Structure formats: C-alpha cells, structure tokens
Amino acid sequence: MHYLTNLWNTLDFGTLRDAAVQLLAVLFCLTVHETCHGLAALALGDPTAKRQHRLSLNPLRHIDWFGLLMMLVAGFGWARPVPVNPNYFKKPQQGMALTALAGPASNLLLALLLLIPARLIYTYAHYSVFNQTALDFLTSTAALSIGLGLFNLIPIPPLDGSKVLAVLLPERAYRWLMRYERFGIFALWLLVALGVGGRYMSLAIRWVYTLFCRIVGF
C-alpha cells in the first residue's frame, strides 16, 4: 500500500490530462477526416465505404493502431484508409479528387467550428478546471485539425493532395501515379525524418489558425 501511495503521489496529472486531451483530439480529427471521405464517395455514387460500415463517427472503425501511435510519438501518422472504388464514379479521376479533397476540407471546417465555442468559453466562462480543460481541448483540436488538413494537401502519394493533383494530369500520368502510390509513404517518412518543409508547414498552420481566430472574433 505504501508503494502504491508513493506511485500515486509521483503521477503528474497535468501531463496525464494533456496526454488525454491530445489523444482525444487525434481520434476526433482522424475520424471526421475518414468519415467525410466516405460520405463524399457515397454522394458521388460509391457505396463501398457504407457497405463496410465506415460512415461512422466511431473512431474504432477508422483507427490504425500503429499509425495512431506514430502520430502521438512522431507527429506523423495515419488512419485506416476509407475504401473507394472509382469504377462507381461517372468520371473516375474527378471523383477521386473530390473524394480526396473532402478529408482536408472537413478538417479545416472542423477547426473553424471548434474555435467558436472556444471563443465563447474564453470570453464568458469563469475559470475552472473543467472550463480550462474544455478550452484546451477545443483549441488544440482546432490546431491539430488544421495541421492534418494542410498536411494531407501535400501532393505526394498516398496523401489526398496527390489525388487532387492527379485530376490535372493526363490519363497515362495518372495511372503511373496510382501504380506507384504505395511507395510515396517512404518519401514522406524521409521528409518528416529530415524535417524538410517543417518550418513552412508550421507557418502555414499558424497563419490559418490565426485567420480562423480572427473570423470567430477570438
């Protein structure tokens, strides 16, 4: 019992709270991102995600556990990709581009919406542990959602930006890009490991976050 008491006293509950807030934020942003891919595909005629029960806000349906761990530890991770069958689309390239764009767009919209209650709490709510935790969650999730949205717009496979870019390519170049899509992850790992472009990404996230704060009157 004495050992358990000492262990309890050494726990940093501020750090545990921050870790819990970060985990919830990651799960929320990834879930919205993947669900909106599926919704966009369904709207364009592809029922694949719906049939596989991926049109859900249950994060367990979207989590890739290793990808989640890497996001928490290294700041670069992934969820289980939503299955999309472009054969259902009237125009496959355009359909894939719109489906891909739905993920980053949903993250940017989510960030803007989260900052509205954050602004109300900051302006009108009295200080309490609960209110501060809620404010931390809303602002950190907004920043994370912006980062996830902007990162996915990078035109390197398998990120969404590559599929958006592909709509501008000739069909032959598009097929080549899709064929070697799986190798793009290694290029991303290398860029992240070397910190290439990290400064510009941070500046972009800060700029969008500041813009959204001004929009909501923060």
Res 58: pLDDT: 92
Whether 34 sits among the annotated catalytic residues: the reply is yes
Quote the radius of gyration of the chain (alpha carbons, Å).
20
| pLDDT attached to residue 8 | 44
pLDDT band at 3 (very low <50, low <70, confident <90, very high): very low
Specify the DSSP class assigned to residue 156: S
Phi and psi of 206, rounded to 5°? -65, -40
Q: Which residue has the higher pLDDT, 172 or 114?
A: 114
Q: What is the pLDDT of residues 140-167, one digit of tens each?
A: 999 999 999 998 998 888 889 988 887 8
Q: 58-62, 172-176, 212-216 — which one is most confidently predicted on average?
A: 212-216
Residue 133 pLDDT: 87
H helix runs in the chain, sequence order: 2-10, 13-43, 48-51, 65-74, 92-124, 129-152, 160-166, 171-179, 184-194, 198-216
Which pLDDT belongs to residue 4?
A: 45
Which residue among the candidates 21, 29, 34, 147 is catalytic per the annotation? 34
Query: Residues 158, 185: contact at Cβ < 8 Å?
Result: yes
pTM of the predicted model as reported, rounded to 2 decimal places: 0.84
pLDDT tier for residue 47 given thresholds of 50, 70 and 90 = very high
Q: Whole-number mean pLDDT of the chain?
A: 84
Task: Tell whether the model's pLDDT for residue 76 goes beyond 60.
Answer: yes
